[in-house]
A and B are shown apart, each in its own frame.
Chain A
């Protein structure tokens, strides 16, 4: 497990190992110990993999000297329907629309997400130090997925049968970028409850980016994740159009003969114990998702102003550990809510999904 706190040291997070080795050998005392820490954590990871790290690690290196706070630096690549990352550059920062919808949606979506974090939380990109945003579209053939690989935000075209292209929903693009933010801030372990919290944070900020862009209040928002991703062939739940997840009513996003029924619980009593999906990270995230929705509704107005701020402060809270469980996360949001006079609303939101911190022992 990587216990190193990456934040504010992210230049080290993104340096390729051979440069870290050089620092470990030639740097000053502080640089050397930091480089050694990172090398040991990253080698643990690397040794677990079958093959070499995929993309050329050198591209992680960023031109720190030219970065201006609030100025985003996007690069969109195409994998040309192969599975090679990053692919070839098709649109760089400031260049005009390409006419390829996937490319332009990724460019605009990463831009909207950057703007949200900058304007609402004064956060400068994934690492709060202006890290360039690298997206790859047209990944794989008929590839029905989007992911964050620790470096790139990657989007498939969908299979055209059940799934459309994954850049169609802004919240999905923002979800992937938020995985980078979470990895930078807390490294919430991607399995079981900590993994479901990691997933929930990506849905929370993914949905907030959409709401912020549409200027919707909590009451006006649909609280759906990936509402544009399914083709018309997929059946929704409760007579609604299908989406990947519903933060408002987890478990009702789809109910389809091929896909099955949305497996998300909306209360701790229905928590799913499973080995699948890294211990149900995309399943049990329904519980904290609904808690956030309820907190936002209790507080009213724009969800990013209070509820979003409280969740963001909790993500940055050094008391949030990589192996945190739902109850600990709930405690910390309740504690952070005090500064916003929102303790009662947040406490009640968690209580409604079955999470009641006994005495808030912080």
Chain B
């Protein structure tokens, strides 16, 4: 399974913080790979609709694109920080943390 994660927006544009993250479950330790697969399953990501978020009201909000490729299917969604679904919140928290870790390793 491959996961692509791209944060965007916010109060400022910081070139170094907006780089996309790409994860391949095959490159992750076994228990982390199954953790990630579980997060995707619990977020029911493949069942969500994927229209882009509108920008009629509000400003400086962050927006996250998450794309998942799994065997024969792939799907993408966009969510915001104010997302209320606990499954999506957990997935977003994991991906944000992962991006931070990778940034620190460089």
B 43-73 binary contact with A (CB < 8 Å = 1; else 0): 0000011011111111111100000000000
Question: In angstroms, how far is the closest chain B Cβ from the Cβ of A55?
Answer: 8
Range of interface residues on B (Cβ < 8 Å): 35 or more
> Is B58 a contact of A147 with CB atoms below 8 Å?
yes
Is B18 engaged at the interface, CB distance under 8 Å to the other chain? yes
> Hey, which chain B residues are within 8 Å of A210, CB to CB?
none
> Which residues of A line the B interface, CB within 8 A?
1-2, 41, 44-45, 48-51, 54, 83-85, 139-141, 143-150, 159, 166, 172, 175-176, 179, 183, 187, 189-191, 195, 198-199, 202, 226, 244-245, 256-261, 263, 276-278, 280, 282-283
Residue of B10, B60, B84 most packed against chain A (CB within 10 A): B60
> Is A183 a contact of B57 with CB atoms below 8 Å?
yes
A146-B60, A198-B59, A202-B59 given; A48·B17 CB < 8 A: no
> Is B53 a contact of A149 with CB atoms below 8 Å?
no
Partner of B11, one of A150, A226, A260: A226
Is B79 engaged at the interface, CB distance under 8 Å to the other chain? yes
Chief secondary structure at chain B's binding surface = loop
> Is A145 a contact of B62 with CB atoms below 8 Å?
yes
In the bound assembly, the distance between CA atoms of A221 and B18 in angstroms comes to 31
B 8-24 binary contact with A (CB < 8 Å = 1; else 0): 11111111111000000
> Which residues of B line the A interface, CB within 8 A?
8-18, 48-49, 51-62, 77-79, 81-85, 89, 93, 100, 103
A54-B84, A83-B83, A147-B60 given; A244·B55 CB < 8 A: no
Partner of B82, one of A54, A189, A260, A277: A54
> Hey, which chain B residues are within 8 Å of A145, CB to CB?
10-11, 60, 62, 81
In the bound assembly, the distance between CA atoms of A49 and B48 in angstroms comes to 11
Known: A176-B60, A258-B16, A259-B17. 8 other contacts (CB 8 A): A45-B54, A50-B48, A51-B84, A145-B11, A147-B11, A147-B81, A257-B16, A278-B55
> Is B81 a contact of A179 with CB atoms below 8 Å?
no
> Hey, which chain B residues are within 8 Å of A259, CB to CB?
14-17
> Is A149 a contact of B16 with CB atoms below 8 Å?
no
Question: In angstroms, how far is the closest chain B Cβ from the Cβ of A175?
Answer: 8
Residue of B16, B52, B79, B83 most packed against chain A (CB within 10 A): B16
